[in-house]
Amino acid sequence: MTDDNDPLSTNEHVSQQYEQMRPLVGLLGLFSRDIKHRAKDLDEQFAALKRIKENSQEFAERFGPLGWTVYDRLSVDAVRDAVTEADDQLAEESLVLHHLSSDNLKHLGYRFNTSAFRAWQELFQRAVERLSSEDYISAVPLILIVIDGICTTKSGKHPFSGGADAPVFDTETTGPGGISDGLAILGKTRRKLDTEAIDCPYRHGIVHGLNPNFGNAFVAAKAVNLLQTMIDYFERKEDEEERIAKAAEDQRQPSWTELANTMSKTQETKRRINEWEARPEVSGVCLASRDESHEFADDSPETTATIYLNAILSRNFGELAKLTIDYPNRSIGYRAGNLRETLGEIELTHWVVTAIRDNAPAISEVDVEV
């Protein structure tokens, strides 16, 4: 994005807001101890974000040339551990453990529950089985097949022929150490037979039998890493226009009328909070159940609870995903896949709402027997 009117990336926008707001917050802190404490918290949060960005940049510089790529969901803890380890060999070993861990592979598997990647679900599941058995010779080609299939289907081009070269707004996958840099290294053409062990998934050498000694954990982990980067890239590419439009709207300077409306809504919210009173607690009776209708208000917490329970009952994981808070704000499809994996073996046959109590303007508890 090069036009002056284009929105900033999330990281750039947060940094800009902090730099613009910090002097004023510091000035107000001279007159208010509470604001001074909030300013300190703000500084600590921004410093943490800055460290994450710096770690990502160092990761790309150190480990990009070794065949590792940067993607949006790459664990900040894994990145931090790698860049704080001075020995590259030990750092790479920690990255191998992370990428081949059962938790990482399980969460990557959720992505194949969505319609965008379901065509390659069986291949990926078989690759995971082989990884679990440390059968890397079988697993690596399967992962490379999935990578090829995703890129060729989504872009019309092979991954090593420019299929993932187009820049995409607000994603780590097209920055330094991202998908293009990784493919440039891993897509190198091999001209002759080399029986020495390799530590990167060189597709040409592996598929054409010129690097037959590829069956090790390093090659497998870097193949998994590249697959995760490829999936992140095409997910962000698919909704790029929508994200650009949302970022432009979020970053647009509001008009005086909009500011006045916002202030009015804020005052109305404050008034309602000040006037709020807890409803009398109700307990010890059947207030609602699977088999009985209820008279709850449509916008009440207890109505939402019944919708959630019925979604579990009917195994409607899409509806559950919409009602579940997800701080990384991942797609509904991804969250639905995660919930399906987590709750898939749970069978709910009946539920009864037995109590409702209000604890605060934004907190209510609903007791349920299942």
The per-residue pLDDT for range 171-197, each reduced to its tens digit, is 999 999 999 999 999 998 989 999 999
Query: How much is the pLDDT for 2?
Result: 42
The strand pairing partners of 364, in sequence order, are 358
Whether 112 and 338 have beta carbons less than 8 Å apart is answered as no
| Claim to verify: residue 234 and residue 323 sit in the same structural domain | no
Please report which helix (H) or strand (E) contains residue 104, including its range.
helix 102-110
Is residue 327 predicted with pLDDT exceeding 70? no
Residue 1 lies in a domain: no
Q: Which of 284, 290, 283 is nearest to 352 (CA)?
A: 290
Residue 219 lies in a domain: yes
Assigned token pair, 255: 């008009």
Task: State the virtual CA torsion across 205, 109, 114, 143 in degrees, nearest 10.
Answer: 10
296 against 68, higher pLDDT: 68
Is residue 32 predicted with pLDDT exceeding 80? no
Residue 261 lies in a domain: no
Residue 120 lies in a domain: yes
Is residue 330 predicted with pLDDT exceeding 70? no
Q: Which of 183, 175, 205, 182 is nearest to 192 (CA)?
A: 205
Is residue 1 predicted with pLDDT exceeding 50? no
189, 223, 245: which is the final residue of a domain?
A: 245
| Claim to verify: residue 199 and residue 333 sit in the same structural domain | no
Mean pLDDT of 78-100: 97
| Claim to verify: residue 186 and residue 310 sit in the same structural domain | no
| Claim to verify: residue 106 and residue 171 sit in the same structural domain | yes
**Integer Cα distance of 37 and 194 in angstroms:** 62
β-pair type (352-360, 282-289): antiparallel
Mean pLDDT of 100-122: 93
Q: How many domains does the chain have?
A: 2
Please give the backbone phi and psi of residue 329, each rounded to the nearest 5 degrees, phi first.
55, 45
| Claim to verify: residue 197 and residue 292 sit in the same structural domain | no
Residue 42 lies in a domain: yes
245, 274, 306: which is the final residue of a domain?
A: 245
Residue 2 lies in a domain: no
CA angle, 320 as apex, 316 and 325 as ends, to 5°? 165
Percent of the chain scoring above 90 in pLDDT: 51
Query: Taking phi first (over 0 means left), then psi (-120 to 50 degrees means alpha), and beta for anything else, what does residue 88 get?
Result: alpha
| Claim to verify: residue 18 and residue 133 sit in the same structural domain | yes
| Claim to verify: residue 103 and residue 181 sit in the same structural domain | yes
| Claim to verify: residue 303 and residue 354 sit in the same structural domain | yes
Q: What is the mean pLDDT of the chain?
A: 89
Q: What percent of the residues of the chain are helix, what percent strand, and what percent coil, each to the nearest 5?
A: 60, 5, 30
Residues in the chain: 370
Instruction: Give 333-365 pLDDT, tens digit per residue.
Output: 777 877 887 777 788 888 999 999 998 888 899
| Claim to verify: residue 84 and residue 158 sit in the same structural domain | yes
Instruction: Give 252-306 pLDDT, tens digit per residue.
Output: 887 878 777 877 887 888 888 888 899 899 887 788 888 777 888 888 999 999 9
Q: How many CB atoms lie within 10 A of CB 83?
A: 18
Residue 25 lies in a domain: yes
Using a 10 angstrom Cβ sphere, with 0-12 exposed, 13-18 middle and 19 or more buried, the burial of residue 251 is middle
| Claim to verify: residue 199 and residue 299 sit in the same structural domain | no
Query: How much is the pLDDT for 45?
Result: 84
Mean pLDDT of 27-33: 72
18 against 217, higher pLDDT: 217
**Integer Cα distance of 303 and 301 in angstroms:** 5
Predicted model pTM: 0.75
Query: How much is the pLDDT for 4?
Result: 53
Q: How many CB atoms lie within 10 A of CB 94?
A: 13
- Residue range(s) defining the domain that contains residue 239: 10-245
Residue 257 lies in a domain: no
| Claim to verify: residue 164 and residue 305 sit in the same structural domain | no
| Claim to verify: residue 34 and residue 154 sit in the same structural domain | yes
Mean pLDDT of 122-126: 98
